[in-house]
Structure 1
Amino acid sequence: MINVRKASERGQADFGWLQSRHTFSFGNYYDPRYMGVSALRVINDDRVIPGQGFATHGHRDMEIISYVISGTIAHKDSYGHVKDLPAGEFQLMSAGSGIYHSEYNPSATEPLHFLQIWIQPATTGGQPEYQQKTFEQTEALTAVITPDGRDGTLRIKQDATVYRLQLADAEQLTLPLTSGRTLYLQLIKGELTLNGTQLNVGDGVSVTDEQLLSMLASEAVEALVFDLP
């Protein structure tokens, strides 16, 4: 089964300094039809104007992923991490028993565009952790986050794997699916046909009870793919 979440139908928030599009219910946006998929709870498509950002605030018991599409995030947290997160880099913050952080656009001229993603952990509590890394795209589908941190990936506290998908114009990919798993794809750039369904920038799609995924890029594609319990 393939269920498409069109970019144009997502929830919207406009705070002046922040323009956000919510794939799932978040903040003041609530739709009981879109409360998440499996352990995937939040995908916010955020655009932050220069010199602004999210002031210090707290989280607990959530795996929080940031992926920068353009611009840079300046990160600070209550465990002493002070980091810059440039475009193409992944950040994973395991909030555990509780952590405070801020995320700002440090540029005076360049907007920041990034995805903020929340995945519910398999266990609660524990020491908060911070991870950050740039990944070379070694193949069309490259793992960046895994439950065991294998092959240098970031380690998440859930039976979930996150991949970055990159396809050239007219490139095809066939992906076998594991029975009983849920897959979610969030399209960042390009146009993609997935099992005959056309996807455009910002669209998402959940996939269940399919044996194969057949993908064809109409133009160069970048997407995140979530393999979920």
Structure 2
Amino acid sequence: MNKLYKDSSHGKNDFGWLKPRYHFSFANYYNKTKMNVGTLRVLNDDLISPNTGFEEHPHNDMEIITYVIDGVLTHKDSMGNEREVKSGSFQYMSAGTGIKHSEFNKNEKELRVMQLWIYPDKVGYTPNYGDYDLDKESQKNKFVKIVSSPNNDGLIKINQDANIFVGEFDADKKIELLIKNYDNFYLVMIDGNAMINNFELKTRDALETNENIEIVTIKKSHFLIVQTNNI
């Protein structure tokens, strides 16, 4: 099974300061056929204008991962963390029993972030925060496993058996990822152009599959891939 989602199919909004793309039903976007892929519940691709952002707001019982694609994200939370998360870096919050945080773009350049929410394997965890500065050279022409369960080898550990990979590949590269012991892949073309399982994807397109992934890049391409199990 392969399902191609062109950028035009994503939920979109324009709040002036915020221009989000919703891969799954979220906020004012509802599509009963796009609620989640396995334990991946939310994937938002957000553009945040300079000197704006999200005021303090609460979360609970969700594993929240943010990938800063371009710009600098300023984070502050109720656990006392205050961080600047720069382009190429990842931020992780286990919301657990409850956390409040704010997210701002305090710079003069537009900020692009991708935020993912993954259901935890149980409720009631103690809230936790961390971030990881990924050297872009480390993902050149290969996938890096950024996120995994504590029993796996991801750079960031979350309270769920799910993996998140990122990679940037030059044109004319061939790559394969095996589904192995998981039910689904959800792949996002952050930027670029490639053939994936015989479907052509361009910037901001996505592919859901329960098969191995075969990629042939047409142009330089930047990918994010989430590997999950069904709920």
TM-score range, shorter chain: over 0.9
- Between 149-158 and 45-54, report the one with greater CA deviation: 149-158
**Which residue identity does 1:58 align to in structure 2?**
P
- Return the match for 1:187 from 156, 181, 189: 189
**Which residue identity does 2:169 align to in structure 1?**
L
Change (3 A) 1:80 1:179: closer
Per the TM alignment, residue 151 of structure 1 is displaced from its structure 2 partner at its CA by 5.1
**Which residue is equivalent to 1:91?**
91
CA RMSD of aligned residues (A): 1.4
**Which residue identity does 1:123 align to in structure 2?**
K
Per the TM alignment, residue 149 of structure 1 is displaced from its structure 2 partner at its CA by 6.8
**Which residue is equivalent to 2:102?**
102
Report if aligned partners of 1:149, 1:156 keep a CA contact under 8 Å in 2: no
Question: Given the two structures, how large is their TM-score scaled by the length of structure 1?
Answer: 0.95
Per the TM alignment, residue 9 of structure 1 is displaced from its structure 2 partner at its CA by 1.2
Report if aligned partners of 1:44, 1:117 keep a CA contact under 8 Å in 2: yes
- Return the match for 1:201 from 179, 203, 210: 203
Change (3 A) 1:125 1:179: closer
Number of residue equivalences: 226
1:123 lines up with 2:125 in the alignment: no
Q: Distance in 1 between matches of 2:110 and 2:57?
A: 22
Q: Secondary structure at the match of 1:219?
A: coil
Report if aligned partners of 2:182, 2:227 keep a CA contact under 8 Å in 1: no
Per the TM alignment, residue 135 of structure 1 is displaced from its structure 2 partner at its CA by 2.4
* Structure 1 residues 115-139: Cα deviation after superposition (integer angstroms, max 9, x where no partner): 1111111111121000100224256
* Structure 1 residues 167-207: Cα deviation after superposition (integer angstroms, max 9, x where no partner): 11111112222255211111101111111110111011111
Per the TM alignment, residue 213 of structure 1 is displaced from its structure 2 partner at its CA by 2.1
**Which residue identity does 2:132 align to in structure 1?**
K
Q: Distance in 1 between matches of 2:79 and 2:182?
A: 38
Question: Given the two structures, how large is their TM-score scaled by the length of structure 2?
Answer: 0.94
**Which residue is equivalent to 1:20?**
20
**Which residue identity does 1:10 align to in structure 2?**
H
- Between 13-22 and 82-91, report the one with greater CA deviation: 13-22
Per the TM alignment, residue 227 of structure 1 is displaced from its structure 2 partner at its CA by 1.1
Q: Distance in 1 between matches of 2:193 and 2:223?
A: 10
Q: Which runs of 4+ in 1 moved over 4 A?
A: 149-152
Runs of at least 5 residues in structure 1 that lack an aligned partner in the other structure: none
Q: Secondary structure at the match of 2:24?
A: coil
Runs of at least 5 residues in structure 2 that lack an aligned partner in the other structure: none
1:160 lines up with 2:159 in the alignment: no
**Which residue identity does 1:146 align to in structure 2?**
S
Change (3 A) 1:181 1:17: same
**Which residue is equivalent to 1:112?**
111
* Structure 1 residues 90-148: Cα deviation after superposition (integer angstroms, max 9, x where no partner): 011100000000000011x2111111111111111121000100224256111011101
**Which residue is equivalent to 2:133?**
134
Task: Percent identity, please.
Answer: 35
**Which residue is equivalent to 1:41?**
41
Report if aligned partners of 2:145, 2:154 keep a CA contact under 8 Å in 1: no
Change (3 A) 1:150 1:178: closer
**Which residue is equivalent to 2:4?**
4
Q: Distance in 2 between matches of 1:48 and 1:179?
A: 37
**Which residue identity does 2:66 align to in structure 1?**
S
